[in-house]
Structure 1
Amino acid sequence: MLNLPEKVEIMEVCPRDGWQNHKTMISTEMKIKYIKRMIDCGAKKMDVTSFVNPKAVPQMGDAFDVVAGVSDYADEKGCVLSGLALNQKGVDNARKAGLTDVSFVLSVSEEHNLRNSKRTIKESLETFLALAESAEGLAITLALPCVFGSPFGDEIPMKRVTDIIDKAFAAGVTEIGLADTAGISTPGHTREVLQHLAGFVDFDHVSIHLHDTRGMGLANAYVALEEGITKFDASMGAMGGCPFVPGAKGNIGTEDLINMFEQMGVATGYDLQMVIETAVEMGREIDAELVSSMANLCAQK
């Protein structure tokens, strides 16, 4: 019989990863409304926006206003807000906005990193190590896209991944995020990668970020749970996708992940029914076609 954890932590990433690709601009007021609703659903950690060039990702152009509109409510409810950054300027802006948690993105795919941040892996790593050593007062997570495979066909050597992780921890980083950015991993491959990394990093300090491009997101999450991962990213309504990965679909749906875990007896701290109802209402208000199973099941009733 499987030795499963009693509970897991699910970080809600819809406000950042879920909305960044949405074709219709979402008003700041609408974002604030649904971020607060997500917190009411039980989110204790949330990827709330990204501090990137608004010309590249227009949907995130109101980052400062969004953070200002939800910070007090999040503090009151005990939800930690995080923002994404690709460079020193992004980290500085996250700090100016009042965030204490930042995710710095460094892809382990050379091609993806060039498209995502217009830098080589070496250049991004040098930038990251410099800011990590000077980031007093900030909790920085190093997010590693494409750990489970590159959509551009370039090889992802595990030694590259472990070298980056080693250097990050040496610089004082305590959290690592592993991402299947293109949603191309299989359960077998996910297990293989995680079993390899288990010898290099304590999974208490690792989260996993899975996309569902080929319909294997939940299966990969199940394998990750078996391998000792207890921190997961998920997006309400299964919204999301990387602007720099052609054809990438959304993240695993928060409501689908909660349903799977709760059915297995693993607590999440979320109110599943409230998450489903919020996802359905959000989809209607922002004109989003939700693809999560639980949201669609509810919408059809």
Structure 2
Amino acid sequence: MSYALTIGFITYGKSTAKYLPYFLSSLKGQTFKDFNILVFDNTEEAENENALYIRNNYPEIEIARGNGNLGFAAAFNRLINKAKGGGAEYFLALNPDMVLEPDAVEKMVKVLEGDSGLGSVCPKILKWNFENNKKTSIIDSCGIKVKSGLRFFDLGQNKFDKGQFNNAEILGPSGAAAMYRISALENIKENSQYFDELMFMYKEDCDLAYRLFLAGYRSKCVADAVIYHDRTTYGKGEGDLQVAFNRKGKSRQVKKWAFLHQQIIFIKYWKLQSFWNKLAIIWYEIKMIIFILLFEQYLLGELLNLWKIKKEIIIRQK
């Protein structure tokens, strides 16, 4: 049986298992019914809390696995390929640390169906206080924006929602909740990949949003489609000092991924940038290297990793 929409999500150990009762219940309660659900389990052990809960409570959900933890990009690429093979027109990528309002999926599908120029849409994502199971009016993301120097950020993050971003233009959806037109993904894939698998996780959604934009596809935040998200890493503010302060709360591994993947993005799209954008990138890099030398010397190792994959990046260069 084919469905108009495939919803896919990734599980990984205890970090996602605790959310599944809330998340899957909200999926099954959607007013839109023409969808199937796929999950990719990145947990190293085949028998784990996620798989057990899904098999016992939602046996109709298909669980896929790889050899170990494949990361975000590779796992979602496999789910998108599965959705395409099943005849789906749209793919909704979700994090499982979320709960959806009952009409969220229906409203996103309606907007995507109604405008062929859209390659993707996203909901308005608000913060969910999971510990107290409390929905808030604090914005998590109204979509991804890009500023000079190929620097990406979540629109409205940590601001109180007053509807001020309801009609704002966005580059693309946050990877936390992103609905894509599969035909658009087919048109922009590189090396048979939708998400760039050089990016294990973090910033792969920015890269995909930028490629869709370069191909002429628009994106839109469907503001009345609301999802609540218990994000594990938050940043407050976009200035240099605030960004540096925010880094204190992030793990070394997250900072390694973010730094490496930003460098990949710079190289991939350098030739397309204006003179002023190139200056902004150079200025950012100078500041970043000084910061790393002073405070986070362990990130210098990522420059070696960058060199090792340089040829693969060049192949992807626009």
Greater relative contact order structure (CA < 8 Å, 6+ sep): 1
The answer to whether the superposition gives a TM-score over 0.5 is no
Q: Which has the higher strand share?
A: 2
Q: TM-score by structure 1 length?
A: 0.27
TM-score in terms of structure 2 length: 0.26
